[in-house]
Structure 1
Amino acid sequence: MLSVDSLTWPAVWRRPAFRGQLGAVVALLLLLASQLPRYFAWVQARPGRILPDPLLAALPTHDVSGLTFAVIYLSIGLGVAVLLPRPLRLLRALWAYLGLHLLRCLTLYLLPLEPPPDLVLLRDPLVDQLIYAAPAPITKDLFFSGHTATLLLLALAVPAGWRRQVLLAGTVAIGTLVLVQHAHYTYDVLAAPLFVGLAWWLSGEIVKGEIVKCSDR
Structure 2
Amino acid sequence: MLVSSSPATTTPARPLTWSAARYHPAFRLRLLVVVLLLLGISYALPFFFAFIQARPGTVLPDPLLDALPARDVSAPTFEVIYLSIAVALVYLLPRPTLLLRALWAYALLHLLRVATLWLFPLEAPAHLLVLHDPVVERFFYASPTPITKDLFFSGHTATLALLSLAVGRSRLRQVLAVLTVVVATLVLIQHAHYTYDVLAAVPFAFGCYWLAGKVVKW
Take 1:14 and 1:64, find their aligned partners in 2: how far apart are those partners?
A: 46
- Output the amino acid matched with 1:21: R
| Equivalent runs, 1:121-200 vs 2, <5 Å | 121-200=130-209
- Output the amino acid matched with 2:196: Y
- Output the amino acid matched with 2:117: L
| Equivalent runs, 1:1-217 vs 2, <5 Å | 2-4=13-15, 7-209=16-218
> Which of the pair has the greater relative contact order for Cα pairs under 8 Å at 6+ separation?
1
Take 2:44 and 2:59, find their aligned partners in 1: how far apart are those partners?
A: 27
Structure 1 unaligned regions, length at least 5 = 210-217
Take 1:21 and 1:161, find their aligned partners in 2: how far apart are those partners?
A: 25
TM-score (norm 2): 0.93
Structure 2 unaligned regions, length at least 5 = 2-12
More helix by share: 1
Structure 1 position 133, deviation (Å): 2.7
Structure 1 position 190, deviation (Å): 0.3
TM-score (norm 1): 0.93
1:50-108 CA-partner distances (Å, limit 9, x unpaired) = 00000000001100000000000000001111100000100011110010000000000
Structure 1 position 208, deviation (Å): 1.6
Take 1:159 and 1:108, find their aligned partners in 2: how far apart are those partners?
A: 29
Take 2:83 and 2:142, find their aligned partners in 1: how far apart are those partners?
A: 23
Take 1:10 and 1:161, find their aligned partners in 2: how far apart are those partners?
A: 23
Runs of 4+ that moved beyond 6 A: none
